[in-house]
Amino acid sequence: MTYITGIHALNLNCSLDTPGDWHQSAIQWHTPKTKNINDSIWLDYGIETNSHIPENPGTYYTANHIRACLDLIYDGNFVIPQGMRKNFIVYDKYDNEIFEKVAMLKNHINWENIDKFMCSEWYMKWVRFKKANGI
C-alpha cells in the first residue's frame, strides 16, 4: 500500500492530538511524497485512511504526524522534522511511543545521526530511555 508522508503528511490533519506543520499553502500538492508500507520497518503503523489532499480528488492513505516524522528520520532527512518535539508533536504523551519506534532503528546504518537528532529534540529524556532499554 502506498501512502503520503513527509512534509506533505505533516501539513494534513490526522487523528492524533498534534498540530503538525501548517504551511499548507507553500507546499506543492501535485506530486506529494509517497512511500510503500512494505518498504518500512513500521509497516502500517501510523497510516490513516480516507484523508483528503489539497488539489487532489478522492481520498488517500496518509502518515499521521508521528509516522511522517519517523519516515523523515529513517531517510536521514533531519532538517524537516527539526523542532519535531516542540512544534509538530507538542505533547509528552507521545514520547514513549516515538522512542519505541525510533529504537527499532538501532541497527540502521545512520543510527549515530538518528541518535544525535533524538538527543537534540528530547535531551536527557531520550538518554534515559536508551539506558533503561539497553540501547
Neighbours of 71 (CB within 10 A): 21
Average pLDDT over residues 55-74: 96
Specify the pLDDT at position 24. 62
pLDDT averaged over every residue in the chain? 94
% of residues, the chain, pLDDT over 70: 98
pLDDT at 57 exceeding the cut of 70: yes
Q: What is the pLDDT of residue 21?
A: 80
What is the pLDDT averaged over residues 31-60? 94
For the entire predicted model, the pTM comes to: 0.94
Res. 55 pLDDT band, cuts 50 70 90: confident
| C-alpha closest to that of 97 among 1, 19, 12, 18 | 18
Which helix (DSSP H) or strand (DSSP E) does residue 111 occupy?
Answer: helix 111-122
Which tens digit of pLDDT belongs to each residue from 68-126? 999 999 999 999 999 999 999 999 999 999 999 999 999 999 999 999 999 999 999 99
